[in-house]
A and B are shown apart, each in its own frame.
Chain A
Amino acid sequence: MSNNSGYFELFGLPRKLWIEMGALEQKFLQLSWKFHPDNFVNATEHERELSLQRSSELNDAYRVLRDPVARVEYLLGIEGARKEGEHKQQAPPELLEEVFELNESLDELREAKASGGDLAALKARLESAEKNFQQKLGEVDEQLQSAAREWDTLQGNGAVRKKIMAKLNDLLNRRSYIRNLVANVQKELV
C-alpha cells in the first residue's frame, strides 16, 4: 500500500509481471543476509529499528512478488489502477445461471443437513459444480497470464496501457469471486 511502492525496485526489477523465480530467490537470500535483525542485536537502537523496517519490507516484497496473483494486484495498486469490484457479491453476468444453481444446491444441502435428509446425491451435485468452477478458475489464471504477457511487451502507449490494466483488474475481481465461491462449497462439503 501507500509507502511500499518499491517492491520491484527493492529487487532491482522492472515493473514487469514475468519474474524468474530462481533469480528472485537468490536476491531475497542475498538481501536477507544484509538486513536481517540478527545482524544488529548489538547495534544502536536506531540501527535495530532500521533493520526491522528494511527486513520486514524485504519479506513483504518477496511474499508478494513470488505469488503471481498478488504480484498483479500489487502492480495495479502502485499504478493506481486497482479497483475492487464495487458490487463484490455480484456474479459476473455470464456466470449468473451457474451461480444461481450452485446457491440453490448449497441451500438444499444445508436444509438436508439440518433435517437429516439424504446428503449423498446433493453432495455429488455440489462436487461436480465445484469441479466446474475450479476449471473456470484455471481459465481465469490462463487469461491473467496472457494479459500479463501483454503488459510485459507493452511499449509505453497510454491508452493501451490503461486498457490492459483495466483487463487485469477485471480478471482479478473475477478470480476472487470464483475463489470465494469454491471456498464456500468446500466448506459445506467438509
Chain B
Amino acid sequence: MGRIVGIDLGTTNSLVAYLDPQTNQPKCIPGPYGSTLCPSVVSLDADGTIVVGEAARRRLLTQPERTIYSVKRLMGRGPADIQDELKLFPFRIDPSSKNVIRVKLGGKLFTPPEISAFILRELKNWAEAHFGETVDRGVITVPAYFNDAQRQATKDAGKIAGLEVLRLVNEPTAAALAYGLHEKQRGKVAVYDLGGGTFDISVLKLISTTEGDIFQVLSTNGDTHLGGDDIDNLLQAFVHELILQHDEIDFSPHGEIAQELRKSLIEVKHQLSESEAATLRFALPNGTVFTHEFTRGALDALIRPVVDRTMRPVKQALADAQLKLADMDEVVLVGGATRTPLIRRTVQEFFDRRPHIDLNPDEVVALGAAVQANILDQGVKNMLLLDVTPLSLGIETYGGAVAKIIPRNSTIPASAQELYTTGVDNQTGIDIHVLQGERELAKDCRSLARFTLRVPPAPAGLPRIEVKFLIDANGILQVGAKDLRTSEQHSIEVQPSYGINDSEIERMLEESIEYAEQDFAERQVIEARTESEAILAATAKALANHQAAGLSPEERARIDASVATLKESAAGSDYKLIRKRIDELNHATEHLAELLMNSAVSTALEGRKLAEV
C-alpha cells in the first residue's frame, strides 16, 4: 500500500497535505514552484498534453479557450442548473450535453470530474515526488453544503485520478480538526468558511472524553455558489461599466482582455486587504491606460451584498444547533476570502468575539484533511469526527409533495426505512423518487435519483417491500430493499440523476492515465539512479585523495562493499532498494568525509554526506 494524503480540492486553489509522523502535526506539500497552492486551473496544450496549476493559470491570459478555472462550480450539476454560472464564467459547455455536462478545452470534451481529476493527479504527483513513494489513498474535502450529486462527482474525480477516496470530509469540519489539534480548543466553535466559490458555516462541539477528543458537528449551512469569485465578479462588472462610460470600450466579459483585467482587479483586492487605498492601472486595447483609485471604503460598499448573503446561513446554523450567540466559545475563519477586512469585521461584530485566524486560511482545510487521513489510516485512536448531512432527504409523495425521511443536520451515517406496497393487482413496479432539500415540493428540491422497485405480481396491497435509505459517512446515499414476505434482500442500482456510471469512470481512468506524463515508478527509478551516480562519483574521487589513507582497513572494506552493492542495485529498477543502498554508502563514508575536511571545521560538519563535501 502507498502513502495516504489529505487533499483540499478548492474552487480557486487546491492543496495536498500529510501528517508528519515526527511532529504529529499536519504539513502542506509544496509544488515545483515552491508554493503549497496549486491553482485549480487546467489547460489542454495544442499537442494534447494537460497542464495543471500555476503553468495553466498563466495560460488563462494567452490561451483562454484551452483553459478552465473554477470547475468546482460545475461538479455534480446538470446543464439546466448552470445557466446563471454561464453568464459570469467563461465555461465552454458542449451544447449537446444532456444529463452530464461536458466542457470544451481546445477541441476536446471533458466532464467536470475528469477536469478535477487532472488537478488531483497533479497533487498526487507533488506528494509522490515529496515522499519518493506512491500515493494511492486520500481524504478529499468538500463544501459542507455540497449535495449528494456534488459529493458523488468529487468521489468520481478521485477514482479517475487513481486515488482510493477513503472519505469525503466537510471543509469547515476539516478546519476545526486542524484547529483542535493545533490549539487544543474545547467548547462550541463556529467555523465560517468563505472560499473561492462556496460558503459554509458549521457549528461544532469539541468534547473531551476518556477515550479521546470528539469533534461533533451540531449543524451546518451554506451556499455552494457564493464565494470570493462573486466579489471578483462585482469588481469586474463595476470596472467594465466605468471603462464603457469613460472610454466607450465594451469588451466581452469572457475574452482575453477580461481575464487580464480580472487578474489586475484581484491584485487590487489583495492590496486593499493590507492598505486603505490601491490604484488600478490597466492598458486598454486603444493604447490608453485606464486608471482608477480604489479606497477600502468603496470596496466595502461594493462587496457588502456578498458579505450580507453569508449571514442568513449563519443564523440558520445557530438556530438549528439550538444555540444562542452567547453559547458560542470560539469563531474560526477559513478560506482565502476571509482575509477581506470587511468580512473579518462583520464576523467579529456578529459573534462579538475576535475570530481565530492563526492558521493560514488557505492551508487549514488541507491540514485538517491530513489529520483525518491519518485517523482513518491508523484506525481511530484518540480523535473522532461526527459529521452531519447538510440537507434533508425526502421522497416524492402524491401530488408532487416531499415527505422528509432524514432531517438535515442528522449525524451521519443516518438511515430511514419506508414501507411500500402496490395499489393495483399484479402491479410489478413502484416508482421511487429521492430528493434532497428543504422545500415542500419535489420540483423545488434537488432530484437525487429515480428508480423502480420490482415487485412480484400479487393482489394489490399484499406485497410489503421495505426500502432502506442510508446516508453514509461521506454524505452519499445508498439504497437497499427487502421483501418482508420472503426476507429477500434486493440491491438497488441507483443511477444518480446527474452522475456518470461506473463503466464511464473506468474509461475516464484509463484515459487520464494516458494523459499522465510519466509513470511514477519509472520517474523514481530515474531519479534514484541519477543520485547514485553522483554519490558513486564523489566516493571514487574521495578515495583517490591522499587523506583517504586515514581510513582504517575495516572502514575501507565497508566502503568498497557498499559501492559494489549500490552499483548492483542501481542496475535494477527497484528504486526503494537503490535509495537504501545510497543511504548505506552515505553512512559508510561518513569518516571519509570528515577526513577530507579541514580538521578545524570537521566537527561542525559532522554527519555530512560525502556528496555534499
Contact = CB atoms under 8 A, between A and B. Distances in A.
A38 B381 CA distance: 10
A37 B484 contact: no
Given A3-B417, A59-B411, A33 B470 contact: no
Given A2-B484, A29-B209, A37 B413 contact: yes
B384 A37 contact: no
B386 interface: yes
A1 interface: yes
Interface string B339-382: 00000000000000000000000000000000000011101100
A29 B215 CA distance: 10
Interface residues of A, number: 22
A74 to B, nearest CB: 13
Contact of A2 (B386, B414, B417, B470): B417
Interface string A22-38: 00000001101100111
A52 B472 contact: yes
A52 B418 CA distance: 18
Given A2-B417, A30-B211, A52-B472, A38 B380 contact: yes
A41 interface: yes
B3 to A, nearest CB: 14
Contacts of A60: 410, 414-416
A4 interface: yes
A169 B52 CA distance: 62
Contact of B375 (A3, A38, A52, A59): A38
A42 interface: yes
Contacts of A38: 167, 375-376, 379-380, 384-385, 473
Contacts of A176: none
A33 B413 contact: no
Contacts of B414: 56, 59-60, 63
Contacts of B212: 33
Contacts of B61: none
A36 B379 CA distance: 10
A7 interface: no
Interface of B: 166-167, 207, 209, 211-212, 214, 216, 375-377, 379-380, 384-386, 407, 410-419, 466, 470-473, 484
Given A32-B384, A32-B386, A38-B473, 15 more contacts: A2-B419, A3-B417, A33-B384, A37-B472, A37-B473, A38-B376, A39-B379, A41-B167, A41-B377, A52-B472, A55-B413, A56-B414, A56-B471, A59-B412, A59-B414
